[in-house]
Amino acid sequence: MKIAVVGATGLVGTKMLEVLAERDFPVTELIPVASERSAGRSIYFKGKEYKVVTPKEAIEMRPQIALFSAGAATSGEWAPKFAAAGCRVVDNSSRWRMGQGIKLIVPEVNGNTLTESDMIIANPNCSTIQMVVALNLLHANFKLRRIIVSTYQSVTGSGIKGINQLTNEREAGFQATASAESAPSALPYQSAYPYQIDMNLIPQIDTFLDNGYTKEEMKMVNETKKIMGDESIAVSATTVRVPVVGGHSESVNAEFEKPFELKDILRILKESPGVLLSDEKSETPYPMPLFAQNRDEVFVGRVRRDLSCENAINMWVVSDNLRKGAATNAVQIAELFL
């Protein structure tokens, strides 16, 4: 089993290698792939040294599966070429997610829809993944009508650049002058964000669209409908970048068409694959990013009935965005084809 990891030197690519090793994926030959700038570097995987190659060289090595985490542009150019060579592609970028005929897969939710003919499979947005894992069986039982979600997303969602900005600001004790007129150029260093992130929250992830929402917010809207296979679900999202390294958190309000007892909601969450329900009586009464780091579960807590809306609940959802939100979900998809 030859496995290519495209973007192997990046933050998510490195995590993919970790997950492949941890889950004992049957890799007989690893093909680490990166840009020509990184070609020739050494990658160590399960005690063996592998040389990083270019995408063109990787295709000539005939991998069976390729895990892509190298950005939308790279995926748009190279994923079809890998697929044409008979290699199944699991892509972590946004390039193929809403593509016609391309499956958008979260194994716990819709993994059963994959077929042998699927050659390019899209990995959803990290914030969408953890939300649909938490809501999937509740939707099956009570039928989702509407979701209102606010996210609190780690700087690791911006890659190493986001981590570096937060680290540099924290070490320097930097304090930007806040004003409505502040511009990105006001920051005295190369930045991932237009404003200071340490000691701050930024209610913008990705660029703004004409409707006033950001691309990240509309990803959650559109991807949720596609993964759930239900265009009738109304979704409203607000996505926020927070000064946390590792782990996305979400405040989720879910309204259902059918009435429910809260005890049934809790029972179903406990039975949901990939979900770990936090109990107020336990040592960890609610999920936090600190506890989710390097874990693959989607942690759910603070579950309570919405007192202002019939047939609705509030809950708090946390997951490691580099693992279940990216690398682990991609490897799980690959496992479905073994």
Residue positions annotated with a catalytic role: 126, 248
Q: How far apart are CA 191 and CA 288, in angstroms?
A: 26
Q: Write the DSSP assignment of 182-241 as a string of letters.
A: --GGGSSS--SSSS--TT--B---S-B-TTS-BHHHHHHHHHHHHHHT-TT-EEEEEEEE
Cα Rg, the chain, nearest whole Å: 20
Is the CB of residue 258 less than 8 Å from the CB of residue 311?
Answer: yes
Buried b (16+ CB within 10 A) or exposed e, 109-135: bbeeebeeebbbbbbbbbbbbbbbbbb
What are 159's strand-pairing partners?
none
Looking from the CA of 249 toward its CB, the CA atoms found within 13 Å total 20
Q: How far apart are CA 101 and CA 106, in angstroms?
A: 16
Token pair 């960890």 is found at: 284
Residue (of 333, 301, 338) closest to 316 by Cα position = 301
